[in-house]
Every structure is written in C-alpha cells, then in structure tokens.
Amino acid sequence: MMNSAAIYPSLNAPTTPANMFGSVPGYEGLVPGGGGFLPPPMPAEPVAPPQPGAVPDDWSIPSLSEDVANDAFKSFASSHCCYSKAPANDGVITKMEPFNTYRYRLETFTESRSTDWATKPHEGEPADFYTQTAPRPWEIQATAPKLFSDHKEEIRVPYTSSIKDCHTCHTTGTMPCQECQGNGSKPCWVCNGSGTNNNDSCHRCNGSGQDKCSECQGRGTKDCETCKGRRQLLAYIQLTVQWTNHVTDHVVEQNSGLKVDDLSSVSGKELFKNNQYQLYPLLGFPNPAISQASERLIQEHLAQFAQSSRILQQRQTVELIPITKVNYKWKGDTHVYYVYGNENKVSADDYPATCCCVIQ
C-alpha cells in the first residue's frame, strides 16, 4: 500500500499564496488580506451647502392626568408577583410634576467600499483577466438598500478573473481524510483494534481490528474543501460594499430623578424630523442643549465618516419624552413613582409593600 503522504499534500492546508494573483491596473499593491476602506472620489460638481430645515412652532408638552397615572401604577403593581396592590389601590396622589426630557438623534447613512483578492471553485466561468480595463471600485454599480438600513453586498470586479490550479490539493481534487488520517479505516471501537473481544473474534470488525471510516466511506480521501473537488480555482478581486446607518443619541436630563438609561426602552412624541444629504445644525430650539448637541454631533459624524465613506443621507430627530414625577401618600408616609414615555411605563424603586418570594 502506498503511503498517502507521498501522494497528497499535508493535512494542514497552506494559506493562499500571494503569487497566485496578478497585478491589475488600478489595483496595484492589493495583496491578500485587503486594501482597507477606499476613500470615495470627489463629486464631479460642487455639492450644494446644507440648508436649514423648517422648525415647527409647536413644542407642546403633553400632561398626564391622575387617572392615567393611577392606572399605570396599578398595572405596574399587578405585574410584580411580590408587590402588594394596596399602595397602588389605596395611595392618594398629592403632587404631580411634569418634566421636559428631550432626546436628539442623529443618523448618518454611509456607503463604504473595500477590495480584496478572493477565490472560489472554478465552475466553468470564463477568465476575463486583462480582456478589458477593470473598473475602479467606485465606478462599479451597486444598488443601495432602503435609506438608513444596514446592508452588505459582495461583487466580483469585472475583468479581474483568472483560472488557477488549486494550491491546497495541488490539482488532485482530494485531500486525506482527517478522521482516519487517510487510511480509510480506524481502530474498531468494540475491540479497540485488537480483533478480539472476550477471547473471541470481534463480531464488529470480523477480527480485523479495523472499522471502515464513516467520514470518507473507506476511501481515505475527501473532496478538497478549497476547490470542492474541481481541482482549479477562479481568482478575482472582490469588492465589498457596506451600507451602514450610524446612530448617536443625546438625552437632555431635567433632574427629574429618573435614570436616563430607563428612557432607552420608551418612545416619545416626535417634535421634529428632517433628512438631507448633509444636515444643517438644528437652530432655534427652545432648549439650547439640543441645538448644541446637534451642532456637535453633525461635526463629529462628518469628521468620522466623510473621509472613508460616502455620506448618502443624514437624518435628525427630536423627541419629547414625557416624564411625570408622582408623589403619593400611603399609610401616612410619602412615596414617589415615575410615569414615562408614550408607553406610560412606571419606575418605583421605593415601592413600600414588597415581600421576598422563595420557591421551596
């Protein structure tokens, strides 16, 4: 029997050799591992400066009635198995304080492009390398998804494909089976390779001490994972187009006592929204902190994304998240809870009637 190692390459497949890829005009210097994100070209025509969006006059703050606050509090108590419903049912509201809490959100929707050498099993595709000049990365058409949604597309760059011998299996199309080390069989699991079991011939392997390898069906080889048994590869430059929606929030605290992190789970009343290719900072907002956040975040996004990607659209939104601080009396003591968001969620860290639930 021939030594399989003399026929087949090592079980540890080598990495893709750099010299299997040619030099493509416009992609000089591209090596396996990628060329990183490619800066977008300057626009052919000057881009119009951003225009300020319309600012509405209605910055009204919704008020919460006592009935709604009571209902929200009762639902909150009912949802906790260890909470007595008495404070929610019998407590008397003594004071309700509304707080204006604004959330500013900036979204910057970008398109970035990167290239890398890639290979796939050759399945009859023509080799078009050097038949025409390959288009540059930003010249290749790609269909963008819906605005402000993440998506990735991989495109084979035209006129960069060539056919290469598989470097993993050296064009044999097969590799030694790793399960049986290329032998086609493994020691019998019943007799541990001895051929006998309880002083009798092993019934499992008929005394041979060997079991046919189920992974390769006894062949000792499997199709090469790199070329899938086709012996040749198609080598080409792959363009990866990545659309990303970058989102940054800024919440203005009003010292209501409610944790800002609680607000991430609720929605508010949308006061303002506009989107353009490039936004103008939101000016004239009743709360100057929002105007300052808008100006700062727009500049930060431009500095962070404009050099390595193409900005397709920006969107800014201002929400008013209603927060009501409710003071109530129960059994002579004063307590506090908060009702917040359009969902009327409740936070009551000092709920006065709780017990420990112990599962026996």
Structure confidence by residue, pLDDT tens digits, 48-106: 666 555 555 566 666 899 999 999 999 999 998 889 999 999 999 999 999 878 999 99
Q: Which two tokens stand for residue 356?
A: 């420990």
* Amino acid 45: pLDDT: 57
Enumerate the domain spans of the chain: 66-107+244-347, 174-223
Amino acid at 23: S
Helices in the chain by DSSP H: which ranges? 4-7, 66-78, 86-90, 288-305
CA 137 and chain centroid, separation: 24
Instruction: Output the tens digit of pLDDT for each of the chain's 360 residues.
Output: 333 333 444 444 446 666 677 788 888 778 787 666 788 877 655 566 665 555 555 666 668 999 999 999 999 999 988 899 999 999 999 999 998 789 999 999 999 999 999 999 999 999 999 889 999 999 999 999 999 999 999 999 999 999 999 999 999 999 999 999 999 999 998 899 898 888 889 988 998 999 999 999 999 999 999 999 999 999 999 999 999 999 999 998 778 889 888 898 899 989 889 999 989 998 878 888 999 999 999 999 999 999 889 999 999 999 999 999 999 999 999 999 999 999 999 999 889 988 755 343
SS3 percent helix, strand, coil of the chain, rounded to 5, is: 15, 35, 50
Q: Are strands 232-251 and 269-276 parallel, antiparallel or unpaired?
A: unpaired
* Amino acid 3: pLDDT: 39
